[in-house]
Structure 1
Amino acid sequence: MRNLTDIYVRLSDEDRDKRCAADESESIQNQKSMLINYCIEQGWQINNIYCDEDYSGADRERPAFNQMLKDCEEGKVDIVLCKTQSRFSRDMEIVEKYIHGKFLEWNVRFVSIVDHADTSVAGNKKARQINGLINEWYLEDLSDNIRRTLKHKKLKGEYCCPYAPYGYKLNPDDKHKFIIDPPAAEVVKSIFEMYKQGMGYMRIAKTLNEQQIPPPAVYKEMQGLNYRNPNAENASSRQWRDSSIYYILRQEVYTGAVVQGKSKNLSYKNKKRVKLPKSEWIVVPDMHEPIIDKDLWNAVQNLLKSRQGNDKQFKTESNEINPLRGIVNCSECGSGMWRMSYQSGKNRYKYYRCRTVKNSEGICENINSIRQIDLEDLILKELHKLSDTYFDETQISLQTKQNNRLLAIEEERKQLEKKIAKVQNNSVQLYKDKLNGLINDEQFKLLNDNFNKEISQCNERLELIRKEIENLTSEKQTDLSREAILAKYKNTEKLTFELVHELIEGVHVGKLDPETYEREIEIHWKF
């Protein structure tokens, strides 16, 4: 046996607090040293050493852990070695899935030194399951303790996040407190002043971009903070946007309050965050120097309230929801396109314009707008074209042929299965004839080889038929789903929000050709 071994070590945040000069047993270096020496003693060959630092034992997205599992699935290793089972995972579901499930399927042995877990030892499974339960209970208790501790700190007004809000810095003497960051604070003040003077979100964003003031995410990077904007590749994310202005104008932190607890994880296992109602937020006033005084704050909040309900991006004058909301994007820069409108006489005309172009100049070349009515007409036209193509006689004939083919090969499969059963019965009878002396060994071997060959040929054909049936069935299900959707909207003459969001993933609008006055528009259907 090869005994190729993957060593896995992990150090989590919950263990980090336990470390001290007298107790380094949980350190990465000591884990590696212990496991390497164990491999040498056992005569095992090390394939790779995988390390996840600052990852919880319940985290299923550990990069090194998942790479190690990939090695196991691809048959590159025979053994996974850890210091303890908890280093592998504290999640009982993961322990059951891999150590007691997939590893057996992949022929991989799991060994942990300290708690003597070894899947090659008979009777060791119950001990591993008990270890798994204890580890999961520990993790659950730890999660509850951390939640209670954090809530206690938040109720005292201690800030519990790694980065201060834009306009502030973390106090170097107390990381739970803020001090004003003068350059950014001046920008925050100017945003509130501009809004008070009647400027809208977009106009404020455009003004800041023209002044070449970096937006919050970029500013944090320039300050040397270990901060990464996940949308940094998008040019528009390096500019001020109306959404940033919208957010800043509503942040009570600028009045001196610490506001936390706006969302929470579903559980210690599920990291999905859910928003909490404002009544459950933790707000502690007068915890740091305000950037915005009470008069300016109240004036801006009153303006925001007075302008609520006037957002033409989402609803028309008749309160009809915009059918294209959230799906129109710019093909050039990848940013969303913003719906605008203008009044001409008694009519109001709506159009879409690239959000990046609206906020700043020179970043995106898609500078020409497109009328919403033209975009809706194009989508309807393409929808009718799809319906006409799908329901024409040629397409229906093709579907009929596919259905007939499916029936034919289903029948062939049944006949082959009957034939195999018959040949197997004949083979059994042949063996009985040999035992009864009706045929000699040479005759038995010749006839039995023919039976086996016939069964093998039938099985090969059966496998091909099963694959073809699987493909045709899948195509038929897709066709039925597509048919139901297209039939539902076949004769529609007007786009609705329900129709668009059931059928369309997104609409991507390219720039206008200055010579032909045409532009490429891609519709990404959901089927």
Structure 2
Amino acid sequence: MARTSRKKAVSKPAAGSLPIPTAIYARLSHEDAAENGRVTIESQIEVIRNYLSGFRELQEAEVYIDNGYTGTNFERPAFQRMMQAVRDGQIRCIAVKDLSRLGRNYIETGHFIEKICPFFELRVISVNERFDSEGSGSGMLSAPIFHVINDLYSKDISQKTCSALRAKRQKGDFVGGYAPHGYQKDPENPSRLIADPQTAPVIRQIFTWRAEGLSCGAILRRLNQADIPSPGRYRFENGIRTNNNGKGSALLWNRHVLTDILKNQVYLGHLVQGRQLTSYYIGVPAHTVPPAEWAVCRNTHEPIVSEELFEQAQQAGRAGYEKCTGAHGSNAHLPQKRSVYGKKLVCAECGAVMRLHRSVSRNRDKVWFTYVCPTYAQHGRQGCSRRNIRQAELDAAVLESIRAQLAAFLRQETVCAELARRAGAQARLPQQGLPEAERLLAKKKKLFASLYADFKDGLLNVDEYRSAKALYHEEIAALEAEAERSRAPAEQLHALAHEGPRWIALAKQYGKAEALTAELVDALVSEIRVCPDGSLEIAFRFADMLEALSKNYRRAIEEGA
């Protein structure tokens, strides 16, 4: 296509230019809302829309809102969805009220604006700073300064927040995001806890059962069989979303939740807080705090259980622990084993990693080992249908499968040698230049790169530009697929010539193994799934290699090489 000389591109194209799909991004953290009630999501969106009305080439595509998320990192749901839209080509410009809405960590935000955005050809506009990444005015020069200011502001806010929370904890105010199970925040004073009439009776019943001598397993079964909502499920059903309750109604009571409740002094009317802390202003990430440093305030709210009932539950717990440890001591003379599978042995139904369990005879003279599904062990058929599989039977079946696969691999040794010879011969051939598909692909990409310039110069109107762009996209996609197909045989041949001998050596090393070991499983197995009917699905690390060897050898025979 003929070209005319181009003038310097201006920041605001003339009317009739192709609209640029623009995302409006608004963010508000809890600290922002508390410090200044005038900073709202709605006001941010209004300011951005008013500003964008002066840009005829920008067209609002979607509004992304992160309400209640910090600006010190980019782990925010709406921001991540927006960036996925950028990667999909649906968004080409992001507009924010100010750069602090984008992020308050100047290193990460600076990297985003200066590295990530140019890579995606993404334009960024900040209203308050008059910053436009497509321009070259004073806004560009001041952007790094704003990044530093935002980071310092975040650290200042972090320090003030930590100090304020510390003072509230010491005063006996509740500072958690949501109340412990059995309580709710007082509507008139969110820093105080009051009993939840729906869940407080459940807490009393749990302590009563434990004081009566019921084991944690028995209590869990009663709760789940009665379909009493677990804490995670209860929060989910009441509109409280956390990192741990995404499964909603599928969340059952589990041992971890139950033991936490039975140890928690909050049910005596005392607040124990500050067990996990984060201090961004001094660069300290989330960490567990030693018990001696916890903030403990007594008699801050109405207790759900009495001191007597709480102590009875603790005594029952200690008695159960002593009985368990005593039994372990009496079985110390019996053999013990560790799983050779690590995290590679999973229940095919629920996906849980199966655990090795030791069972002892009544006379304490015999022992056997079984792999059990922990979900079934804890919840029964409410959680999973698969029970267990004997360790000896499992090991024998896996070892037999490994031997069979290694024998099949060793039969390909001559194939590996032949493919290595072919790869070496191919490497010694003189280069014939790029394949036709790759040559055409490079040409089409070059033409596509100049397409927008032709449009801006007026050589193409909007309809012609869109039509040509769609055509080029189709042609480039087809040529990329063809080029990949043309490269694949040679690349696979060289990969097989390199990897084949290594797997042959492993097959020789482990082919006559007499026993299953962790080293053997780690080297050769990707995953083992135990199905509900007791059958096994074993994924071998070399399965793809074995299939590729056979396929390439057949191709070599067909080509007469």
Which range, TM-score by smaller chain? 0.7 to 0.9
| Superposed CA RMSD | 4.1
Cross-structure match for 2:531: 510
Cross-structure match for 1:163: 178
CA shift at 1:402, angstroms? 4.0
Which TM-score applies when normalising by structure 1? Answer: 0.73
Cross-structure match for 1:15: 32
After TM superposition, the structure 1 = structure 2 runs for residues 262-341 of structure 1, keeping only pairs within 5 Å, are 262-265=275-278, 267=280, 273-288=286-301, 289=303, 291-293=305-307, 295-303=311-319, 305-307=321-323, 309=325, 317-318=334-335, 320-324=337-341, 328-335=345-352, 337=354, 340=357, 341=359
1:234–1:404 CA distance, 2 compared to 1 (3 A): farther
Q: Which amino acid aligns with 2:165?
A: L
Query: 1:2, 1:276 → 2: CA distance?
Result: 56
Matched, 1:200 2:215: yes
Cross-structure match for 1:521: 536
Mapped contact 1:234–1:335 kept (Cα < 8 A): no
Cross-structure match for 1:438: none
Cross-structure match for 1:393: 411
2:109 to 86, 95, 104: 95
After TM superposition, the structure 1 = structure 2 runs for residues 119-518 of structure 1, keeping only pairs within 5 Å, are 119-122=133-136, 124=138, 125-181=140-196, 184-221=199-236, 224-227=238-241, 230=244, 233=247, 237-265=250-278, 267=280, 273-288=286-301, 289=303, 291-293=305-307, 295-303=311-319, 305-307=321-323, 309=325, 317-318=334-335, 320-324=337-341, 328-335=345-352, 337=354, 340=357, 341-343=359-361, 345=363, 346-360=365-379, 363=382, 366=385, 368-390=387-409, 392-394=410-412, 396-412=413-429, 471=492, 492-495=513-516, 506-512=527-533
Mapped contact 1:402–1:472 kept (Cα < 8 A): yes
Q: Which moved more, 1:141-150 or 1:88-97?
A: 88-97
Cross-structure match for 1:30: 43
Secondary structure of the corresponding residue to residue 29 of structure 1? helix
1:171–1:30 CA distance, 2 compared to 1 (3 A): closer
What does the per-residue CA deviation read over 1:85-127, in whole Å, with 9 as the maximum and x for residues that have no partner? 2222223334333322233333333222221212233365432
Secondary structure of the corresponding residue to residue 35 of structure 2? coil
1:359–1:67 CA distance, 2 compared to 1 (3 A): closer
Secondary structure of the corresponding residue to residue 302 of structure 1? helix
Query: 1:311, 1:526 → 2: CA distance?
Result: 41
1:471–1:123 CA distance, 2 compared to 1 (3 A): farther
Matched, 1:114 2:114: no
Query: 1:328, 1:339 → 2: CA distance?
Result: 10
CA shift at 1:6, angstroms? 1.0
Q: Which amino acid aligns with 2:32?
A: D
What does the per-residue CA deviation read over 1:330-353, in whole Å, with 9 as the maximum and x for residues that have no partner? 333445656552526521233344
Q: Which amino acid aligns with 1:295?
A: E
Cross-structure match for 2:56: 43
Mapped contact 1:354–1:366 kept (Cα < 8 A): no
What does the per-residue CA deviation read over 1:401-435, in whole Å, with 9 as the maximum and x for residues that have no partner? 44334433433466869xxxxxxxxxxxxxxxxxx
Query: 1:506, 1:175 → 2: CA distance?
Result: 49
1:66 to 80, 86, 90: 80
Query: 1:364, 1:7 → 2: CA distance?
Result: 43
CA shift at 1:46, angstroms? 0.7
Query: 2:508, 2:295 → 1: CA distance?
Result: 51
Aligned residues with identical type, % of pairs: 23
Mapped contact 1:81–1:110 kept (Cα < 8 A): yes
Q: Which amino acid aligns with 1:162?
A: G
1:463–1:229 CA distance, 2 compared to 1 (3 A): closer
> Unaligned regions of 5+ residues in structure 1, if any?
418-460, 513-518
Query: 1:192, 1:338 → 2: CA distance?
Result: 29
Which TM-score applies when normalising by structure 2? Answer: 0.69
Query: 2:246, 2:289 → 1: CA distance?
Result: 28
What does the per-residue CA deviation read over 1:285-340, in whole Å, with 9 as the maximum and x for residues that have no partner? 4433252525325414533552565798xx99545434456655433344565655
Query: 2:21, 2:36 → 1: CA distance?
Result: 28
1:399–1:130 CA distance, 2 compared to 1 (3 A): farther
1:153–1:403 CA distance, 2 compared to 1 (3 A): farther
Q: Which moved more, 1:97-106 or 1:481-490?
A: 481-490
Query: 1:482, 1:193 → 2: CA distance?
Result: 60
CA shift at 1:128, angstroms? 1.4
> Unaligned regions of 5+ residues in structure 2, if any?
1-16, 435-481, 543-561
Query: 1:121, 1:258 → 2: CA distance?
Result: 55
1:523–1:299 CA distance, 2 compared to 1 (3 A): same
Q: Which moved more, 1:154-163 or 1:178-187?
A: 178-187
